[in-house]
């Protein structure tokens, strides 16, 4: 229900709608928070695991992202079948259980298992949280809701190292996992109390063969980047398996993901912008702690504090995105954000002059603001390009590209930093061209977006 204000003003959502939005945002934030909150603590966790930082990052972060990216599309489809609420409840429950295990049991094996549980749960949470926005909120509120959703995901990824650094400094690294429990309980409570009942009518079935095929395809692609060099055999195998997956999806009655979504330019733009943007952001968030610990011998809490600028500016970029979208349209808002991001990377490229974390505040702030500004308009355009009844698959596809980009960013970073116990300045500088290439693709993808969301809505309505 909407509260009608005075004539000439847009209707205001009721309090229940805002509480539901808050619950969905809290739930969705757990996924990026779970992947980046351990960034600052990786040197300590690597010592606990008796591994070099690069290998530990690949296992605990790259592995988390790998399982997350494999599960996004099937989880979105599962939400279409059993209901987005039920799928979201399952995801939150498993995430809490995995977090408790990581906190209570101090062993390498249990830590790896708990991270896998959290990754699988995050795959269930993100697409179904996005789909709930599409189906539970008033149509007039969707652009705003997806804007806040994108900003929340980006801000959670950025604030993760800050929160993890504080918990590691004042307690110990296992506290990073304990904080997830009350967070998830609050999200669960808000959603249970405020969401509308959903009909439990089956809407199809989950094709397990396609799910397994997708898992092998993405797994081969990711594993091709693990180790001291790129494994071309695994990369080629992954590409062939992914091509086979697309071929199968075009011919089955109940696809796990419908490749025909990519016939819609707004959806392509949303997927590419999200993937390449996360490639850079995730790699940066994990590079900085390693750089300042290895090269500048800076304490973890100081590194986390420097990331506050990126976090705050990312949160500021979200509301500014809505303003810019109304003034210049979503396409040129995304172009402006991409150009700002590239200028921030240009400033960041002078990493040799960064003696303390405060020296990189300006470039991190610019890139944070740009990410926060681009996310809302891109996510909104991508989801509004797809029919409501396919919201789960659409959200699962975008989430897959988000996490695949992040996973590949982490893998490329690990490859460039090598497997030695400590890293060098030259190794860190060698990653920057990869960031530049990814951000250039973000800029090019922005031109596929429509000028405004009204054009997206009209095209969807005409189908």
Same domain, 220 and 325: no
With bands split at pLDDT 50, 70 and 90, how would you rate the model's confidence at 343?
very high
Residue 236's domain spans which residues? 207-255
Whether the per-residue pLDDT at 117 is higher than 70: the answer is yes
The domain boundary, picked from 236, 255, 274, lies at 255
With cut-offs at 50, 70 and 90, classify the pLDDT of residue 11. very low
Residues 220 and 159 placed together within one structural domain of the fold:
no
Is 104 inside a domain boundary?
Answer: yes
Tokens matching residue 355: 């003696």
Residue 405's pLDDT band (cuts 50, 70, 90): confident
For 47-85, the pLDDT digits (tens) are 776 666 666 766 777 677 778 778 888 888 888 788 888
Compute the distance between CA of residue 161 and CA of residue 159 in angstroms, rounded to an integer: 6
What string of H, E and C letters represents the secondary structure of the chain? CEECCCCCCCCEECHHHHHHHHHHHHHHHHHHHHHHCCCCCHHHHHHHHCCCHHHHHHHHHHHHHHHHHHHHHHHHHHHHHHCHHHHHHHHHHHHHHHHHHHHHCCCHHHHHHHHHHHHHHHHHHHHHHHHHHHHHCCHHHHHHHHHHHHHHHHHHHHHHHHHHHHHHHHCCCCHHHHCHHHHHHHHHHHHHHHCCCCCCCCCCCCCHHHHHHHHHHHHHHHHCCCCCCCCHHHHHHHHHHHHHHHHHHCCCCCCCCCHHHHHCHHHHHHHHHHHHHHHHHHHHHHHHHHHHHHCCCCCHHHHHHHCHHHHHHHHHHHHHHHHHHHHHCHHHHHHHHHHHHHHHHHHHCCHHHCCCHHHHHHHHHHHHHHHHHHHHHHHHHHHHCCCHHHHHHHHHHHHHHHHHHHHHHHHHHHHHHCCCCCCCHHHHHCCHHHHHHHHHHHHHHHCCCCCCHHHHHHHHHCC
Is residue 9 a contact partner of residue 180, using CB atoms and an 8 Å limit? no
Instruction: Evaluate whether residue 7 is within a structural domain.
Output: no
pLDDT in the model for residue 455? 53
Q: Looking at residue 174, what is its pLDDT?
A: 81
Average pLDDT over residues 267-292: 86
Does residue 282 contact residue 35 with C-beta atoms inside 8 Å?
A: yes
74 & 218 share domain: no
> What would the pLDDT profile of 142-153 be if each residue is shown by its tens digit?
667 776 776 677
**Cβ 157 vs Cβ 277: under 8 Å:** no
Residue 137: pLDDT band with limits 50, 70, 90: confident
Residue 226 to residue 234: CA distance in whole angstroms: 10
Tell whether 216 and 184 lie within a shared domain.
no
Token digits for 399? Answer: 């989430």
Q: Is residue 201 part of a domain?
A: no
Say yes or no: 242 and 144 in one domain: no
Tell me whether residue 423 is in a domain.
Answer: yes
Question: What does the pLDDT look like over 412-445, one tens digit per residue?
Answer: 888 888 777 788 889 899 999 999 999 999 999 9
C-beta of residue 449 within 8 angstroms of C-beta of residue 376:
no
Burial of 254 (0-12, 13-18, 19+ CB in 10 A): middle
Strand pairing category for 2-3 and 12-13? antiparallel
CB distance 407 to 69 below 8 Å: yes
Note the pLDDT tens digit of each residue in 21-43: 888 888 888 887 877 777 777 77
At 461, is the pLDDT very low, low, confident or very high (cuts 50, 70, 90)?
A: very low
Distance (Å, rounded) from C-alpha 140 to C-alpha 152?
20
Band the pLDDT of 203: cuts 50, 70, 90: low
CB atoms within 10 A of CB 196: 10
Same structural domain for residues 177 and 326?
A: yes
442 shares a domain with 300: yes
Specify the higher pLDDT residue, 255 or 169: 255
pLDDT at 432: 93
Q: Stretch 331-360: mean pLDDT, rounded? A: 90
64/99 same-domain check: yes
What is d(CA 306, CA 292) in angstroms, rounded to the nearest whole number?
11
User: How many domains is the chain partitioned into structurally?
Assistant: 2
* Residues 104, 39 contacting (CB under 8 angstroms): no
196 vs 271, which has greater pLDDT? 271
Query: Does residue 108 sit within a domain?
Result: yes
How far is it, in rounded angstroms, from Cα 99 to Cα 103? Answer: 6
Q: 216, 233, 255: which is the final residue of a domain?
A: 255
- Would you say residue 248 lies in a domain? yes
Report the chain's mean pLDDT, rounded to a whole number: 79
CA distance 46 to 42: 6
243 and 392 fall within a common domain? no
CA dihedral (445, 372, 358, 39) in degrees, to 10, reads -90
CA 142 – CA 136 distance, rounded (Å): 10
Higher-confidence residue of 286 and 335: namely 335
Task: Kindly tell me if the per-residue pLDDT of 10 is higher than 70.
Answer: no
Which of the two residues, 305 and 358, has the higher pLDDT score? 358
> Which one is predicted more confidently, 455 or 102?
102
Q: What percent of the chain has pLDDT over 70?
A: 84
> Are 146 and 108 in a shared domain?
yes
Give the CATH number, domain containing residue 94. 1.20.1250.20
The tokens describing 381, both together, are 């355009």
Residue 202 lies in a domain: no
Determine the length of the chain: 463
- pLDDT tens by residue, 152-186: 776 777 677 777 777 877 887 888 888 888 988 99
Cβ-Cβ contacts under 8 Å for 165 (sequence gap 6 or more): 40, 41, 300, 301, 303, 304, 305
The more confident residue out of 51 and 115 is: 115
224 with 320, same domain: the answer is: no
pLDDT at residue 13 tops 70: no
Whether residues 87 and 73 share a domain: the answer is: yes
Q: Could you tell me the pLDDT band of residue 9, with boundaries at 50, 70 and 90?
A: very low
Q: Is residue 374 part of a domain?
A: yes
Please give the Cα distance from 119 to 359 (Å, whole number): 34
């Amino acid at each position: 229900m909407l509260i009608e204000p005075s004539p000439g003003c847009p209707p205001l959502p009721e309090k229940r709608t805002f509480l539901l939005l808050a619950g969905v945002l809290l739930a969705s934030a757990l996924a990026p928070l779970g992947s980046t909150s351990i960034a600052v603590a990786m040197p300590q966790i690597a010592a606990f695991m008796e591994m070099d930082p690069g290998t530990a990052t690949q296992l605990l972060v790259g592995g988390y992202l790998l399982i997350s990216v494999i599960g996004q599309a099937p989880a979105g489809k599962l939400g279409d079948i059993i209901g987005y609420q039920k799928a979201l409840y399952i995801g939150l429950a498993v995430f809490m259980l995995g977090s408790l295990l990581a906190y209570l049991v101090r062993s390498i094996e249990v830590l790896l298992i708990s991270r896998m549980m959290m990754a699988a749960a995050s795959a269930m949470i993100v697409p179904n949280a996005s789909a709930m926005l599409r189906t539970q909120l008033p149509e007039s509120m969707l652009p705003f809701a997806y804007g806040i959703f994108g900003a929340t995901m980006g801000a959670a990824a950025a604030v993760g190292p800050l929160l993890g650094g504080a918990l590691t400094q004042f307690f110990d690294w296992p506290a990073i996992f304990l904080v997830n429990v009350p967070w998830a309980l609050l999200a669960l409570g808000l959603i249970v109390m405020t969401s509308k009942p959903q009909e439990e009518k089956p809407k199809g079935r989950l094709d397990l063969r396609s799910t397994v095929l997708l898992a092998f395809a993405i797994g081969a692609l990711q594993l091709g980047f693990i180790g001291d060099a790129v494994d071309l055999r695994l990369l080629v195998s992954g590409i062939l398996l992914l091509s086979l997956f697309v071929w199968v999806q075009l011919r089955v009655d109940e696809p796990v993901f419908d490749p025909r979504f990519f016939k819609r330019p707004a959806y392509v733009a949303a997927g590419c912008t999200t993937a390449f943007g996360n490639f850079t952001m995730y790699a940066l968030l994990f590079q900085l702690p390693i750089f300042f610990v290895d090269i500048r011998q800076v304490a973890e809490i100081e590194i986390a504090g420097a990331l506050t600028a990126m976090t705050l500016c990312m949160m500021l970029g979200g509301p500014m995105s809505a303003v810019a979208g109304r003034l210049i349209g979503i396409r040129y808002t995304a172009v402006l954000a991409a150009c700002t991001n590239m200028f921030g990377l240009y400033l960041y490229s002078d990493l040799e002059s960064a003696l303390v974390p405060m020296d990189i505040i300006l470039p991190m702030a610019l890139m944070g603001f740009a990410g926060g500004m681009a996310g809302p308009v891109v996510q909104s355009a991508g989801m509004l390009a797809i029919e409501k009844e396919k919201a789960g698959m659409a959200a699962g596809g975008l989430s897959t590209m988000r996490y695949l980009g992040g996973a590949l960013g982490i893998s490329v970073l690990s490859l460039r930093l090598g497997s030695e116990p400590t890293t060098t300045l030259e190794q860190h500088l060698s990653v920057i061209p990869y960031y530049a290439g990814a951000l250039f693709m973000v800029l090019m993808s922005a031109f596929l977006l429509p000028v405004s969301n009204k054009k997206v809505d009209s095209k969807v309505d005409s189908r």
